[in-house]
Amino acid sequence: MLATELGSGAAHARLAREVRLARSVRHANVCPVFDLEQADGLAFVTMELARGSLADELAERDASAPPPPRDVWAARLADAEGVCLGVAAIHEMGIAHRDLKAHNVLRMADGRLAIADFGIAHAGDEGTAQGTPICLPPEVIFGLPTDRRSDLWQLGLLLYEILLGERPTWRMPPGGAPAPVAPAGSVPSDVAPLVEAASSCLRLRPEDRPTSAAIARVARRVRRAATGPRPMPAAARAVK
Half-sphere exposure of 56 (CA within 13 A, CB side): 9
**112 and 237 in contact (C-beta within 8 Å)?**
no
Dihedral, 235, 116, 161, 135 alpha carbons, nearest 10: 160
Alpha helices in the chain (DSSP H): 9-23, 54-59, 70-92, 138-141, 148-164, 192-201, 212-227, 234-239
- Active site residue: 35, 40, 56, 99, which one? 99
The residue type found at 28 is A
**Active-site residue, 99 included:** yes
Residue 16: partners with Cβ closer than 8 Å, 6 or more residues away: 36
**Mind telling me the catalytic residues?**
99
